[in-house]
Homo-oligomer: A and B are copies of this chain.
Amino acid sequence: MKKINYLLGMCVFGVCFVQPGYAQLKQLEGFSEVSVQQQTGLEQRFDHLLQSSSIGATIKELSAEPHQLGSPGGKRVADAILKKFKEYGWDAKIETYHVLFTTPKTRVLELLAPTRFSATLKELAVPEDATSGQEGQLPTYVAWSADGDVTGDLVYVNFGLPDDYKQLEKLNIDVKGKIVIARYGRSWRGIKPKIAYEHGAIGCIIYSDPKEDGYFQGDEYPKGAFKNEYTVQRGSVMDMVVYPGDPLTPGIGSTLKAKRLTREEATTILKIPVLPISYHDALPLLSALEGPVAPQDWRGALPITYKVGGNGKTSIHLKTEFNWDIVPAYDVIAKIKGSEFPDEWVIRGNHHDAWVNGASDPVSGQAALLEEAKAIGQLVKSGYKPKRTLVYCAWDGEEQSLLGSTEWAEDHQKELAQKAVTYINTDGNGRGFFGAEGSHAFESFVTEIADDVKDPQTGSSVLKRRWAADVVKAGSSKLQKEALAKTGYSLGALGTGSDYSAFLQHLGIPTLSFGFGGEDAGGEYHSIYDSYENYIRFKDPGFVYGVALSQIVGRTVLRLADAEILPFDFRSLQKTISKYLEEVSRISDQLREDNVVENQLIKANVYQLAADPQKIFITPKDKETVPVLDFSKLKVSLDSLQKSANELYEWQKKLNNTPGTKNEKLNTALFQAEKQLLIPDGLPRRAWYKHAIYAPGFYTGYGVKTLPGIREAIEEGHWQEAREQIQIAAEAVLRLNAALSSAIQIARKIR
């Protein structure tokens, strides 16, 4: 974090800002002293053009009706966004892709034994929410479930994650030929049926337990913000961690003439029927279960004794049939051409499609995007000329697994590989704390921006408020002390779950993702209650965090558009990768020690002795010996990277103080550098994901796995693969190192 140097007075674009005793001049990453004045003035004018009322009006307009992918409402929303961009003076068009999309024809869920019950599968329109009873709503379902008609015994599998199946094994319960019921939470929903299928289940039900998302958390909607007994979370269950986007066109844009896989060839489509349900529908099913009482941490907030079932005494009928249609996805793409570097693109996106009305998800983020576009349009009208090209994108089909953004990125991959300086993403937004994730070379850049934007509720910077929250939340006084001493924002790493995946993880484009939240809790997510009326009560009353988001993203876009030297600092990236290396090294050491001790316990027969003889006991199997992994190659490559990152940073500082330098080649080297971290063959078992540092977890979904090749090989016990992945990661880091060395050579010449 740089210190702010106050000077007196400044004038830009003919407008002068003077505050007695203060002024706006300060240092900015990538700007010389002269241009800082201009940039700061630009940002102040930008801020003044943002209106919370306008954001509110956009949210109301775009969430007025259901507007999912392929729907008339969806088309109307795309057209409305196109119209706005044009009004704002952007060069805008709709790019259409043709994607597979499933909508339900038949949904049946019945308990046949020991009692009978038919699931309602229907949310409740309430008078307090005017749009909750509209025509055109998608029924409650998940996209990419298989067609199926199955009957079987029911097993409760907790969150349905790998550890839960290990617990089931201890209870001698398997799910082969059975239907599982899992609760929402702890992972991306698509992981649950995938793992169920891997364990032989023939169907999967996912329900919202009031513990995580209902009365346990707060009053139910419409009294409060949380799920009521009929609310259902829709969503996608595509196996997105293999590849996102249209299942039929991996790696290429799903244009009309694209060569498509058959549905059978598409590995990301689920093989078993899946239905999401409310707790009203889950209660009779869970109540019917017998067998062992569920482990303590498996129990939710329903007023029952949670049991695991699986003893053959229940019979569940699950039937799903879908329309497997190819539908148009309308990406709205708007540009302002760069005055100096038209072939350097600063890309900013947010999706526009929703599961139903989507006031929060995605319209709140889309409204902030449009507000930025409006303000930038007005700046341009009054003479501002961004040096680099701005590309604003409103994606379609995000909800079905990032369809619009992925297909566009795949379709334009060659151009993007050359031109994309950065991709900046947002999605739903709400009241609370600043959050940012992305490429770690941006860490000090993001810190600087977050320090510049005021939190609307407290008047402190959003950086400081987030810091305060991190300090308070730290788990002990030792950790609080450390957090208190910390300066600078630690960027999170990106997994998946929004439109950045193709840019970052497939194409290696430097990426950022922003949002506010934490004081906007609620249960409207992917339900009919994600409405304007809900939003103004619970998510961002007054739309002030919409403005804050526009301020954050606007600064990011404008600084990247105009920076004399792009604000990459690879020292942060090096430090972060080194931290990840320490983590994976510690994990493998811990696993080795754990397995040694576990085998001692097994040998000493303590599990058998400690077990309740009235309960089932399965003798644990001996654990394998974890080899000592040699991380030295990666370590050495990171040491080299440290040196070049430090040297490059010194050059950037030197050149930054030299106004008017022509740095195009250097800038190109800087924004191209992260692509060196792409692994040519991609990650094992999912070649679409090519980034050596960031990927969604194969068994966590949204949750990121950093150094994914190494980390997942260790977690899955693939030791030879772990060794190979260390080598592959080390090579990637060496390539990055070479790229930074080239950049240093370029910098020397400028000097």
Residues of B within 8 A of A262 (CB): none
In the bound complex, CA of A303 to CA of B460 (Å): 39
CB of A579 within 8 Å of the partner chain? no
A residues 600-650 near B (Cβ < 8 Å) are 600-601, 604-610, 612-614
In the bound complex, CA of A505 to CA of B600 (Å): 41
Residues of B within 8 A of A460 (CB): 609
Is the Cβ of A614 less than 8 Å from the Cβ of B305? no
Is the Cβ of B305 less than 8 Å from the Cβ of A218? yes
Given A601-B471, A614-B519: A606 and B484 within 8 A (CB)?
yes
Say which residue of B226, B458, B472 sits within 8 Å of A601 (CB atoms).
B472
CB of A169 within 8 Å of the partner chain? no
In the bound complex, CA of A471 to CA of B605 (Å): 11
A residues 469-513 near B (Cβ < 8 Å) are 469, 471-473, 477-478, 480-481, 484
Q: Mark A198-234, 1 if CB is under 8 A from B, else 0.
A: 0000000000001000011111100010100000000
CB of A94 within 8 Å of the partner chain? no
Residues of B within 8 A of A484 (CB): 597, 600-601, 604, 606
Residues of B within 8 A of A605 (CB): 468
Shortest Cβ distance from A476 into B: residue: B594
CB of A293 within 8 Å of the partner chain? yes
CB of A304 within 8 Å of the partner chain? yes
Is the Cβ of B604 less than 8 Å from the Cβ of A471? yes
In the bound complex, CA of A216 to CA of B300 (Å): 9
Say which residue of B301, B472, B601 sits within 8 Å of A303 (CB atoms).
B301
Is the Cβ of A480 less than 8 Å from the Cβ of B601? yes
Is the Cβ of A606 less than 8 Å from the Cβ of B468? yes
CB of A299 within 8 Å of the partner chain? yes
Residues of B within 8 A of A600 (CB): 481, 484
Is the Cβ of A465 less than 8 Å from the Cβ of B224? no
Residues of B within 8 A of A293 (CB): 217-219
Residues of B within 8 A of A325 (CB): none
CB of A690 within 8 Å of the partner chain? no
Residues of B within 8 A of A219 (CB): 293, 305
Residues of B within 8 A of A465 (CB): 609-610
Say which residue of B216, B478, B593 sits within 8 Å of A299 (CB atoms).
B216
Q: Mark A452-466, 1 if CB is under 8 A from B, else 0.
A: 000001101000110
Say which residue of B469, B610, B614 sits within 8 Å of A471 (CB atoms).
B610
Residues of B within 8 A of A471 (CB): 601, 604, 606, 610
Is the Cβ of A224 less than 8 Å from the Cβ of B472? no
Is the Cβ of B215 less than 8 Å from the Cβ of A609? no
Say which residue of B304, B464, B472 sits within 8 Å of A215 (CB atoms).
B304
CB of A302 within 8 Å of the partner chain? yes
CB of A598 within 8 Å of the partner chain? yes
Shortest Cβ distance from A303 into B: residue: B303
CB distance from A289 to the nearest CB of B (A): 12
Residues of B within 8 A of A468 (CB): 604-610
Shortest Cβ distance from A460 into B: residue: B609
In the bound complex, CA of A460 to CA of B465 (Å): 59
Shortest Cβ distance from A609 into B: residue: B468
Given A472-B610, A612-B519: A480 and B303 within 8 A (CB)?
no
Residues of B within 8 A of A218 (CB): 293, 305
CB distance from A542 to the nearest CB of B (A): 11
Q: Mark A518-534, 1 if CB is under 8 A from B, else 0.
A: 01000000000000000
Residues of B within 8 A of A594 (CB): 477
CB distance from A115 to the nearest CB of B (A): 16
Say which residue of B303, B464, B612 sits within 8 Å of A210 (CB atoms).
B303
Interface centre among A303, A458, A465 (most CB of B within 10 A): A303
Is the Cβ of A609 less than 8 Å from the Cβ of B477? no
Residues of B within 8 A of A458 (CB): 608-609, 613
In the bound complex, CA of A472 to CA of B620 (Å): 12
Residues of B within 8 A of A305 (CB): 215-220, 224, 226
Is the Cβ of B477 less than 8 Å from the Cβ of A598? yes
Residues of B within 8 A of A601 (CB): 471-472, 480, 484
CB distance from A207 to the nearest CB of B (A): 15
Is the Cβ of B303 less than 8 Å from the Cβ of A593? no
Residues of B within 8 A of A302 (CB): 303
What are 6 residue pairs bridging A and B, where the CB atoms are less than 8 Å apart in the complex?
A: A217-B305, A219-B293, A220-B305, A465-B609, A465-B610, A468-B610
Q: List 5 extra interface pairs beyond A216-B299, A219-B293, A481-B597, CB under 8 A.
A: A216-B305, A217-B305, A226-B305, A468-B607, A471-B606
